[in-house]
């Protein structure tokens, strides 16, 4: 639909001005990239349903540091470990801000959050609150009983010998965990929470014409995108307002500090943080946790199970490691996880092949910067293609194959210190929720693999299980993963 609109609006002008474009689109010192059309630039080269793949294909022709023009917006795409290190480490301070994109701006309460806010003093203080008070290792460990209880409940709910929609089961698990950890509200499970999280994530990754062609912002309104965005924001705001008012009343009646919302409310009312928190700040942080804490974790678990069911020998090896360790116990606990190196290798390989956000949240340069002789101007939108980086054949042997053993004797980690795989980003804009996310993925995957032998539904073969993806910020499996759990 977007492509048709753009074609009808701009193709005639593009033909008229093609010669002018070749002279003016980029300076001689810009990174190489494909020629674009006047006004729309390279928009028609971008497949918005699979942008990470279309950008990867372009980078194979134009290089790992590639320049584009998306409408009026200059863009640089990073597609190799070396260029990623330049952006997220060597010149991290230059590239650690965020662009102002319509969907993200609206749903983050005018950039009052941590994920989408531009770099500055306010963002630094907000991130400190998150790292020190909300997602510290101590805080993550305090939620361990909740994780163990909910994972046990999940495995006990699965009926042996029956086809299970594992995608729905795992999303239900992560939604429940966030309900309890963030809001102290177990009863929200599988109600408004599920629908709102899916819709909010979709709108954050939606393509708005006005972000790249501001003169034609009316297209977003005519297409219904603005109305849809306004509706989801109104629903989300009402949802958060109800939760906040309920928790405020409970906190005032007795001391409570058992979940993330309680902590934020007390910091807001006690004015105990280094920055004066507003209710928009509180809601925006909840939005970050709400979306990132459910979608990315669920997607990683499902991709891991997808890879394991397609690779029988790997599944068998992982089951043996876990079952040998826990012996006759029916459940894996968090104390066991440090003794399961192959499990950790499986998860690293899953995150390499299927990074939760294949295109990390976009950055924006705050000043001119030189990388390998090329000039990146200020206010350039920078896209780090984590999917392409982790499949770089100069780094990884047989990069498209699922081989957890490649991490067994490797010093490469996936939490941001190394750049061969950057599923969580790196530098100042690295994901602050890594510990929380990995704790859930490890525990859930260990118990799913330990508790059952997994078979395919009747009539299916392993070749029938595809790895197609849905569009959006988070890389979800396009088709539901339906499997049959069998008693061990």
State both tokens at 222: 């005519």
Provide the residue count of the chain.
Answer: 488
Write down the pLDDT at residue 247.
84
Q: Which range marks the domain in which residue 219 is found?
A: 2-487
State both tokens at 204: 């954050």
Structural contact between residues 402 and 353, judged by C-beta atoms closer than 8 angstroms? yes
What angle separates helix 341-353 from helix 279-310, to the nearest 10 degrees? Answer: 100
> Residue 410 CB: number of other CB atoms within 10 A?
12
Question: pLDDT averaged over consecutive 10-residue blocks of the chain (488 residues)?
Answer: 47 41 52 94 91 96 97 97 97 97 96 95 92 90 95 94 94 90 70 76 90 94 96 93 86 67 88 82 91 89 98 97 92 96 97 96 97 96 98 95 94 92 96 94 98 94 91 90 93
**What is the count of structural domains for the chain?**
1
Q: Is the dihedral of CA 121, 122, 125, 128 positive or negative?
A: negative
Structural contact between residues 460 and 454, judged by C-beta atoms closer than 8 angstroms? no
State both tokens at 377: 């101007």
Helix (H) or strand (E) holding 142: helix 137-142
Rg for the chain, CA atoms, rounded: 23
Q: What is the pTM of this model?
A: 0.91
State both tokens at 239: 């949802």
3-class SS letters over 285-338: HHHHHHHHHHHHHHHHHHHHHHHHHHCHHHHHHHHHHHHHHHCCCCCCCHHHHC
Write down the pLDDT at residue 328.
83
- The C-alpha atoms of residue 371 and residue 392 are separated, in whole angstroms, by 20
Write down the pLDDT at residue 5.
44
Write down the pLDDT at residue 179.
86
Q: Which of 192, 265, 205 is nearest to 235 (CA)?
A: 192
Phi and psi, residue 457, nearest 5°: -55, 155
> Residue 2 CB: number of other CB atoms within 10 A?
17
On the 0-12 / 13-18 / 19+ scale of CB atoms within 10 A, 428 is middle
- The C-alpha atoms of residue 274 and residue 284 are separated, in whole angstroms, by 17
Count how many Cα atoms sit within 13 Å of the Cα of residue 155 in the half-sphere of its side chain. 23
Instruction: Indicate which CATH number applies to the domain containing 31.
Output: 1.10.630.10
How many angstroms separate the Cα of 421 from the Cα of each of 152, 428, 442?
31, 17, 18
Write down the pLDDT at residue 13.
43
């Amino acid at each position: 639909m977007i492509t048709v609109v753009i074609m009808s609006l701009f193709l005639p002008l593009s033909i008229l001005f093609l010669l002018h474009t070749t002279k003016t689109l980029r300076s001689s010192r810009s990174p190489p990239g494909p020629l674009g059309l006047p006004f729309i630039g390279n928009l028609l080269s971008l497949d918005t349903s699979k942008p990470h793949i279309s950008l990867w294909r372009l980078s194979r022709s134009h290089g790992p540091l590639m320049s584009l023009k998306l409408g009026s917006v200059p863009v640089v795409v990073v597609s190799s470990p070396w260029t990623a290190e330049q952006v997220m480490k060597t010149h991290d301070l230059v590239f650690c801000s965020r662009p102002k994109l319509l969907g993200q701006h609206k749903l983050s309460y005018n950039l009052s959050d941590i994920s989408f806010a531009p770099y500055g003093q306010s963002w630094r203080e907000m991130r400190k609150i998150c790292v020190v008070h909300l997602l510290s290792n101590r805080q993550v460990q305090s939620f361990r009983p909740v994780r163990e209880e909910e994972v046990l409940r999940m495995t006990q709910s699965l009926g042996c010998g029956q086809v299970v929609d594992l995608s729905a089961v795992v999303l239900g698990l992560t939604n429940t965990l966030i309900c309890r950890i963030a809001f102290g509200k177990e009863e929200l499970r599988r109600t408004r929470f599920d629908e709102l999280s899916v819709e909010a994530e979709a709108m954050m990754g939606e393509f708005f014409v006005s972000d790249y062609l501001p003169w034609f912002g009316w297209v977003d309104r005519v297409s219904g995108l603005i109305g849809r965005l306004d509706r989801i924001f109104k629903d989300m705001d009402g949802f958060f307002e109800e939760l906040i008012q309920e928790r405020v009343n409970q906190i005032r009646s007795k001391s409570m500090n058992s979940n993330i919302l309680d902590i934020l409310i007390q910091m807001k009312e006690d004015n105990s943080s280094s920055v004066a928190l507003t209710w928009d700040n509180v809601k925006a942080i909840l939005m970050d946790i709400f979306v990132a804490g459910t979608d990315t974790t669920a997607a990683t678990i499902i991709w891991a199970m997808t890879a394991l069911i397609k690779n029988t020998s790997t599944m068998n090896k992982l089951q043996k490691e876990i079952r040998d360790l826990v012996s006759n116990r029916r459940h894996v606990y968090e104390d066991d996880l440090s003794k399961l190196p192959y499990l950790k290798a499986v998860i690293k390989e899953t995150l390499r092949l299927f990074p939760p956000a294949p295109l990390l949240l976009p950055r924006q340069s705050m000043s001119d910067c030189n990388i390998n002789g090329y000039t990146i101007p200020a206010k350039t939108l920078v896209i780090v293609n984590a999917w392409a980086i982790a499949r770089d054949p100069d780094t990884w042997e047989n990069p498209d194959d699922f081989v957890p053993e490649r991490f067994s004797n490797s010093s490469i980690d996936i939490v941001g210190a190394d750049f061969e795989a950057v599923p969580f980003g790196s530098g100042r804009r690295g994901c602050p929720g890594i510990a929380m996310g990995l704790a859930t993925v490890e525990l859930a995957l260990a118990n799913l693999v330990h508790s059952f032998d997994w078979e395919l539904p009747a009539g299916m073969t392993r070749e029938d299980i595809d790895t197609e993806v849905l569009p959006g910020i988070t890389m979800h499996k396009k088709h539901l993963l339906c499997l049959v759990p069998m008693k061990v």
